[in-house]
Amino acid sequence: MKLPEMVARWRDAWQSLDPVTIAELYAPKGTHMSAVVASRMKRPDGMLTGPAEIRAYAEATAAQLDSFQADILNVIAEETPSDGRASVEYWRTVNGDRTGRKRVVEIIEWSGDKITACRVFHF
């Protein structure tokens, strides 16, 4: 499956577990929302805004994981030359534990080469 460039960059950044690389994907007011953010970062709304907050979350996540793998199953994307959005369904495997993998859907929106919004749904 050929992935939109932003989806490939997003996957590669998170799989790297490098907080700087992850944070650099996001626009200055870019958001990242998930139930994991709510619990890990003590944010009742599960929302992070901007690269600094997203980097802090990526640092907390990387400190807890040895590895992160996103095996992409489906992507529905709409792109223009300047922006886009995609729904990405994947199996999330952490620390090599394939028996404990979880199905996840992320909705990613971007403008230029920066993510403007990312919403994560774990199943």
Question: What range defines the domain where residue 96 resides?
Answer: 5-122
Percent of the residues in the chain that have a pLDDT greater than 90, as a whole number: 98
Answer whether residue 13 shows pLDDT above 90.
yes
Answer whether residue 123 shows pLDDT above 90.
no
What's the CATH code of the domain at 47? 3.10.450.50
How many domains does the chain contain in total? 1
Token reading at 8: 């490939």
Closest CA to 10 of 56, 63, 66, 54: 54
Closest CA to 7 of 119, 121, 96, 107: 107
- pLDDT classification of 8: cutoffs 50, 70, 90: very high
